[in-house]
A and B are shown apart, each in its own frame.
Chain A
Amino acid sequence: MNFNIFLPYLLVAALVTYLIRAVPLVLIKKKIENRFILSFLYYMPYAVLSVMTIPAVFFATNHIVTATAGVAVALILAFFKRDLLTVALGASFAVFVAELIV
């Protein structure tokens, strides 16, 4: 990507991300008590990761078939509570094998 086009994007992403972290750490000393806000922030990460993963993951490899194989392996490993690394590498390995077959 052209660096001159890239740079403003980089600055926007970095600045927004940094301010989200820095402003509360510097300014807020009290605990949030509002139950709705706490609940909203509790569910948000799961919702974000789910939206980012499905359906995008099915288009993350060369074929939708191999991606599906990877997702299946990831779901099984995650269901049995394997750690992040095992799930990620297991899914990658499944895709690799599936691509050799397809």
Chain B
Amino acid sequence: MKSRTEIQENTFLKGIIDGIPICIGYITVAFAFGIFAVSSGLTPFETVLISMTNVTSAGQLAAVPIMISGGTFFELAASQFVINLRYALMSVSLSQKLDSSVTLLDRFIIAFVNTDEVFAVASSKKAVGKTYMFGLILTPFLGWSAGTVIGALAGSILPPLVISAFGIAIYGMFIAIVVPPARENKNILFCVIIAVILSCLFRWLPFLSGVQTGFVIIICSVIASVIAALLFPIKEKEAEHEL
């Protein structure tokens, strides 16, 4: 018989608790996004709406310049599709973990906050139920929203020096995600180098520099990933590893 004092696995409360570390991390990333979006020219209200409806750091960061520069809806949709394509893979994988308590409607709700980190926690379990998943997505969602509110408001009042310093925060997080695996795995490093070279060509070469940012992200990342996938196809084991 299980002890009463221990938190039961696969419950709403356990989900909430497992979501707390994700929530804390999200508050900081969302804070940086809030500052970035407001300093780009969005209102705090618009900034918070983006976070509460998209719930994806890289996608949102790419979306803001496209919106501000008056890019086409196709550019926006296509860039979001490519940047967020990894979630499709995570959703495929997560679908195998959901137990019989999860209904079709629940799947539509869980999908909304199936982020990298939520996926990582859920996939560390054998199987997850409806109430656990609801808890696990609730705390990160609140952290993401709250962090954006604080960042958007701070972005409106903080001095330019501080805004400038925080302007690099979200890129710092991207660097923190990419560098450690690139250091361990030469194939990832190869892919990163190709991507960076292409990205710089699109910034500085005449003609190429006229391509809109959303398309640059798509073209460069697809080419780099295809080359890496063709030259260094992954082994079964690596497929299990996620960001």
Contact = CB atoms under 8 A, between A and B. Distances in A.
Interface in A23-37: 23-26, 28-29, 31-32, 35-36
Interface residues of A, number: 75
Interface string A78-93: 1101111111111111
B120 to A, nearest CB: 12
B67 A1 contact: yes
B179 A79 contact: yes
A10 B46 contact: yes
Contacts of B229: 36, 39-40, 42-43
A28 B164 contact: no
Interface in B146-203: 160-162, 164-183, 187-188, 191-192, 194-196, 198-200, 203
B10 interface: no
A47 B191 contact: yes
Interface in B13-28: 25, 28
- Would you call the interface of chain A mostly helix, strand, loop, or mixed? helix
B211 interface: no
A74 B91 contact: no
A14 to B, nearest CB: 4
Interface stretch (B1-9, B104-112, B124-132): B104-112
A101 B135 CA distance: 47
Nearest to A82: B176
B80 A16 contact: yes
A18 B111 contact: yes
Contact of A50 (B82, B90, B195, B230): B195
B107 A12 contact: no
B161 A56 contact: no
A46 B91 contact: no
Given A25-B91, A40-B229, A91-B171, A48 B83 contact: yes
Interface string A53-70: 111110011100011001
Contact of A43 (B80, B84, B225): B225
B205 interface: no
Contact of A85 (B25, B203, B239): B25
A20 B84 contact: yes
Contacts of A3: 43, 45-46
12 contacts: A1-B67, A13-B76, A20-B80, A25-B114, A39-B233, A44-B222, A46-B191, A47-B224, A49-B174, A84-B29, A88-B28, A89-B28
Interface of A: 1, 3, 5-6, 8-10, 12-14, 16-18, 20-26, 28-29, 31-32, 35-36, 38-57, 60-62, 66-67, 70-71, 74-75, 77-79, 81-93, 95-96, 99-100
Which 9 pairs between the two chains have the least Cβ-Cβ distance?
A: A78-B179, A39-B229, A91-B172, A87-B176, A88-B172, A22-B111, A14-B53, A96-B165, A47-B221
Interface of B: 25, 28-29, 32, 41-43, 45-46, 49-50, 53-56, 58-63, 66-68, 70, 73, 76-77, 80-96, 104, 107-108, 110-112, 114, 160-162, 164-183, 187-188, 191-192, 194-196, 198-200, 203, 216-217, 220-222, 224-226, 228-230, 232-234, 238-239, 241, 243
